[in-house]
Chain A
């Protein structure tokens, strides 16, 4: 199983289990789910689909949105919840499936979330833990964390550390060339004139006297 995917579809019995990541943004779930549904359109369409969403508690609005995605993009006529009397508030997780998921994702709040690969324009990684990106963050991509953000690559997009107000959060990147850096409620933007001659040294951004400063790591 590809652990980096926030949405995994599995057939079991006559139905489908949809395993959802519990830690990422619901919008990301929607995007991935939509893609999965579109890719598997022929497989879905025309049937009454017995389905179970597991791994994440969904409120009625979220559940409705996922159902709408299946109807709109998958050509599904009807969705049934055979394992649970269509209660929108209480979704019983399937035992083995959810265990597997819990172990593999290990989303306890202390652990950093690691993302491997290039974050491209429009992609968002969001977590209430530290985030480590092993790869580049391109312009138009966003990394959002309650704590620190560490980019082992070039940061060219937007990084927002300490989103709930943690002013001691920092942003680190091997190559610091962001469109914007936000820490807590403070925003710093890139200068309008790009300095092409800039040395590529690892730099760190943090708050000092309520402004964001960026320094080479060696001077931190």
Chain B
């Protein structure tokens, strides 16, 4: 029996879909059987980010309305075995699926997968309620901005209210140079407000934009710093104890050299 994670944030554009695509992809690279569910009905994106749009025949609304069996709607990934996508419908809206339907669908599908990751839509309305209905655990994504942190706080409260306890936090798109200058919220400020456990810190990386546009998850890019941290997050989900490093010093070759010669002043 697999575990169902919902990836949520409240605010839009903080990286829920990117996180879902990358963590899911790397879990499958590590040999797990993974299903990604796009719960953003009407504004589906996960298929595009995964580069699987052209393979979609049925979608989640077809499944809940009985036009096809759940397995018929699953899109197999073109790169990795054991990775599947259940796409959202584009021509419907959130009301096309009810939380009860979502829950029974997740309960049925998790028998066949090690992990199900649900990409939650932004907002706290029905789409959010649908996305969390079938979830066992929650991952909250935020960025170091007051608005995103405020929304994450609201979401954590709602998750508690819906009995999804102990969500894990991913802080996305951090720029250590700005934090050092005092121009960006730092990790401790965010953790003080949200007071939930940290699953990972993703550095801001322009390669994400390139990989998203190409439909290639960045975890497959060995050189990308963001990709490296997504790989770490996947390993942490599997229970590996990988320390979270709250600075950029270990991330670059020159950083390491500088530290070796005692030049790093951080």
Contacts and interface: CB of A to CB of B under 8 A. Distances in A.
A187 B42 contact: no
Contact of B53 (A123, A139, A142): A139
Contact of B54 (A27, A121, A142, A189): A189
Nearest to B78: A192
Interface in B78-93: 78, 90-93
B111 interface: no
Contact of A140 (B51, B57, B78, B90): B90
Contacts of B92: 27
A140 B44 CA distance: 9
A179 B42 CA distance: 17
Contact of A179 (B44, B54, B91, B93): B54
Interface string A136-175: 0001101000000000000000000000000000000000
B55 interface: yes
Interface residues of B, number: 16
Interface SS of chain B: helix, strand, loop or mixed? loop
Contacts of B215: 192
Nearest to B79: A192
Interface range for A: 10 to 19
A122 B42 contact: yes
A187 B57 contact: yes
Nearest to B53: A179
A180 interface: yes
Nearest to A126: B91
B157 to A, nearest CB: 26
B78 A121 contact: no
Interface in B7-54: 42-44, 48, 51, 53-54
B245 to A, nearest CB: 36
Given A180-B54, A180-B56, 10 more contacts: A27-B91, A121-B90, A122-B43, A122-B91, A123-B91, A139-B53, A142-B90, A179-B54, A187-B57, A189-B54
Interface of B: 42-44, 48, 51, 53-57, 78, 90-93, 215
